[in-house]
A and B are shown apart, each in its own frame.
Chain A
Amino acid sequence: MVSRGIPGLRHGYLHAGSKAIKQCLVKAGIALDEVGMLINSGVYPDKHIQEPAFASMLQGKQYSKRVPDTGRTFSFDLHIGGGSLLMAFRIITGFIESGKIGKGMVVAGDAEPLRGQSSGYFFSDEAVAILLEKGRSGEGFVGFCHGSFPANIHEYSSVTDYGSEGLYLHIKQKDIFLESCLSHSGELIGDFLKKEDLTLEEIDLVIPSQHPVDFARGLTRFFPEEKLVILDGDEILYSAGPGIALENALSDQRFKEAAYILFISAGAGISVNLALYRHPR
């Protein structure tokens, strides 16, 4: 289940993310306390809150004094350059396979932590929540892959510091970052598909992160454009990008019709994450 929340007039990831969670739960017809694990993979907490885990605040918004949280959900934040959503899928899938949880949820999104107090922040306010549970008849994630390439560590950074403007977020991306993301993605895709005994042609659908800008389109060097979910619009999607691309593919049936779906994300580090999803035929 994928659901989306947009902040609207009340700015903030807490608002959008909790809305996305709520909508996802309604679609699935379950309550949050049936979800064993909730992972927040958004990079920026509102107002640069560092504690508690933003996931627990998102969780807390689903409850009230009248309906308190019974503690059946364990939540935490996860950060990995550009790829938190896919690593969250990996962690949750693992806990489901181990039998420790029945369902897990990932929430990802972005909103500028302090309005106007940043440079290089061009991301659209968005949030997405995705519910995972044990697949029926072999459907689901069948493989994951991760690579990190610290030689490129200086190509993207996101830090806060204190200057003349007070607390300020600085995001910097070097021109070479996009090419590095694509190049390392290509290396990893080749190795991963070989290990999974698949060819590029056997991948029916590719769901990539939508950042860096032109990353999704840049994957046409490996896959035909019609297999890629590329969200062309004015919005620059960051943490929620792969989730919104997934929602897009679900809504036009491409996801359901594909036998093998490859999720790809690349980001700061450089870290590349891949996830292979299968619909058995």
Chain B
Amino acid sequence: MGQGSFIESLGVYIPEKRVSTASIEDHLRISRPLKLEVLTGINERRECSGGEDSVKLAEGAVTDCLKYSRVSPDDIEMIIYCGISKYRVGLTYVYEPDISLLIKQKFGNLHAITFDISNACAGMLTGIHVGSDFIERGVVKNCLVVSGEYITNLCRNAMQNIKTALSSEVASLTIGDAGGALMLCKTDSEEERIHISRFATLGTYSDLCIGYQSRKQAGGIMETQMKKIHEASMKHAPAIVEAALTEAGISMGQIDYLIPHQTSKLAIREGYKHFSAHFGEIRGEVVINLEKYGNTASTSHVLALYGLLTEKQIKKGDTIMMIAFASGLVIGVTIFTMGKISDRYGN
């Protein structure tokens, strides 16, 4: 086994302002209640306030990550920003310059290769996929993958637009804001490394969830055909995941934790049943943290992993599978074994 990469540290930034799902539902002008909390399992989510935006979320997550990392800001060799949202100073959306360059500037790094990647809720896992390849080939020694999802403006717009329970904007009511950052470093160790990162895009389904900047309201709109996208995900995911496990020489029975993209408890539980039907009994624990944070888009896996680390639920040697389900339709996995970093969290 040659040079690979491993997750050396991670960090998050969670806005302080809490918004309950109940308060969101109270503001909806529909005749029949959605019972959103029951449907999704989301009790509350965090919302940016006081000047927080995508860049501030990302910077906050990087600051947290660097607290745990042995890599100094000067020594970072690659920075990949992976957020869907690129809001800076309110709802100003920044196409150029790249957010990754703003991060580089903020932390005083002089030499890192910087670029932005966008791949819906699979953004950070895509960043890991690309960054790992650069590390494995020896081009860089480390890579900082970061995202700052300021997306609750979509929820606020949806609250005004939704007229019935069948509205295509209902999924927007599940989202929350968060920043995530993850440091990848090179390793020769077989005991702590990313074993495989494999993704598929099924473009036929690319129109099932579309998010865009609204012309009528400040901020974004997201329109989702929830049932169709869930069905498409369940139809294709088991084979894609199985192919990745086979290629990595790992069985589902060896996975200690499964971290799916955090959309709703119902969707995750249905996914679990589907996977169990395909793979047999799933020994590993399925991680759900959306009751506190909602769907935080590309940061959802890192947020969940961070929770496991700080609550000391995860230990060195545990094998973790992060599963992407994202608009596009993007399905895939990153499977890794937890290393010594578990000692540095939750102390």
Q: Do A and B interact? A: yes
Interface residues in chain A, defined as those with a beta carbon under 8 Å from any beta carbon in chain B:
38, 43-44, 47-53, 55-65, 68-81, 84, 87, 91, 94-95, 97-98, 100, 114, 117, 146, 148, 150, 153, 156-162, 166-167, 169, 267-269, 271
**A59-B105 contact in complex given A49-B212, A80-B114, A166-B215, C-beta closer than 8 Å:** no
Chain B residues lying within 8 Å of A63, measured Cβ to Cβ, are 203-204
A51 touches B97 (CB 8 A): no
A56 touches B203 (CB 8 A): yes
Chain A residues lying within 8 Å of B222, measured Cβ to Cβ, are 51
**A268-B211 contact in complex given A62-B203, A162-B91, C-beta closer than 8 Å:** no
B96 touches A268 (CB 8 A): yes
B133 touches A95 (CB 8 A): yes
Q: Is B266 an interface residue (CB 8 A)?
A: no
B96 touches A148 (CB 8 A): no
When C-beta atoms are compared, the residue in chain A nearest to B90 turns out to be A161
Q: Count the A-B residue pairs with Cβ separation under 8 angstroms: how many?
A: 202
CA–CA, A74 to B198, complex, Å? 9
Interface-central residue, A71, A81, A157, A161, by most chain B CB under 10 Å: A71
A160 touches B213 (CB 8 A): yes
Closest chain A CB from B226 CB (angstroms): 15
B119 touches A76 (CB 8 A): yes
Chain B window 201-223, contacts with chain A (Cβ cutoff 8 Å), 1 for yes, 0 for no: 11111110111111110101010
Interface-central residue, A50, A74, A77, A148, by most chain B CB under 10 Å: A50
**A146-B113 contact in complex given A52-B326, A98-B137, C-beta closer than 8 Å:** yes
Chain A residues lying within 8 Å of B216, measured Cβ to Cβ, are 166
B101 touches A167 (CB 8 A): no
Chain B window 171-204, contacts with chain A (Cβ cutoff 8 Å), 1 for yes, 0 for no: 0000000000000000000000000000111111
B95 touches A60 (CB 8 A): no
CA–CA, A169 to B126, complex, Å? 28
Contacts A51-B222, A76-B126 aside, 8 further interface pairs with beta carbons under 8 A come to: A56-B203, A64-B204, A71-B331, A78-B118, A94-B137, A97-B137, A161-B90, A268-B97
Chain A residues lying within 8 Å of B240, measured Cβ to Cβ, are 71
A51 touches B210 (CB 8 A): yes
When C-beta atoms are compared, the residue in chain B nearest to A270 turns out to be B97
B201 touches A80 (CB 8 A): no
Q: List 18 A-B contacts (CB under 8 A).
A: A51-B222, A52-B209, A52-B326, A55-B201, A61-B203, A64-B204, A74-B200, A76-B122, A79-B116, A98-B133, A114-B215, A150-B102, A157-B96, A158-B94, A159-B92, A161-B90, A167-B215, A269-B114
**A268-B98 contact in complex given A53-B120, A77-B117, A167-B213, C-beta closer than 8 Å:** yes
B139 touches A47 (CB 8 A): no
Closest chain B CB from A222 CB (angstroms): 23
Closest chain B CB from A44 CB (angstroms): 7
B201 touches A271 (CB 8 A): no
Chain A residues lying within 8 Å of B137, measured Cβ to Cβ, are 94, 97-98
Choice from A50, A69, A70, A78 contacting B212 with Cβ under 8 Å: A50
B200 touches A161 (CB 8 A): no
Chain B residues lying within 8 Å of A79, measured Cβ to Cβ, are 95-96, 98, 115-118
Q: Is B84 an interface residue (CB 8 A)?
A: yes
Q: Is B17 an interface residue (CB 8 A)?
A: no
CA–CA, A78 to B118, complex, Å? 6
Interface-central residue, B94, B113, B218, by most chain A CB under 10 Å: B113
CA–CA, A74 to B326, complex, Å? 12
When C-beta atoms are compared, the residue in chain B nearest to A170 turns out to be B92
Interface residues in chain B, defined as those with a beta carbon under 8 Å from any beta carbon in chain A:
84-85, 88, 90-98, 101-102, 104-105, 112-120, 122, 126, 130, 133-134, 136-137, 139, 199-207, 209-216, 218, 220, 222, 236, 240, 326-332
Interface-central residue, B102, B105, B222, by most chain A CB under 10 Å: B105
Chain A residues lying within 8 Å of B119, measured Cβ to Cβ, are 52-53, 55-56, 75-77
CA–CA, A275 to B240, complex, Å? 34
B207 touches A48 (CB 8 A): no
Choice from B91, B105, B204 contacting A68 with Cβ under 8 Å: B204
When C-beta atoms are compared, the residue in chain B nearest to A47 turns out to be B212
Chain A residues lying within 8 Å of B97, measured Cβ to Cβ, are 81, 150, 153, 156-157, 268-269, 271
Interface-central residue, B130, B137, B202, B211, by most chain A CB under 10 Å: B202
B101 touches A271 (CB 8 A): yes
Closest chain B CB from A40 CB (angstroms): 9
CA–CA, A53 to B199, complex, Å? 14
A98 touches B136 (CB 8 A): yes
B85 touches A50 (CB 8 A): yes
When C-beta atoms are compared, the residue in chain B nearest to A80 turns out to be B115
B212 touches A48 (CB 8 A): yes
Q: Which 10 A-B pairs have the closest CB atoms?
A: A60-B203, A59-B203, A51-B211, A71-B200, A56-B328, A52-B327, A268-B96, A150-B105, A60-B206, A48-B213
Interface-central residue, B94, B213, B330, by most chain A CB under 10 Å: B213
Closest chain A CB from B146 CB (angstroms): 14
**A100-B133 contact in complex given A53-B119, A56-B201, A76-B117, C-beta closer than 8 Å:** yes
Interface-central residue, A70, A114, A160, A169, by most chain B CB under 10 Å: A160
Closest chain B CB from A149 CB (angstroms): 9
Closest chain B CB from A96 CB (angstroms): 10
B330 touches A56 (CB 8 A): yes
Interface-central residue, B95, B112, B133, B330, by most chain A CB under 10 Å: B95
**A75-B114 contact in complex given A52-B210, A160-B93, A161-B93, C-beta closer than 8 Å:** no
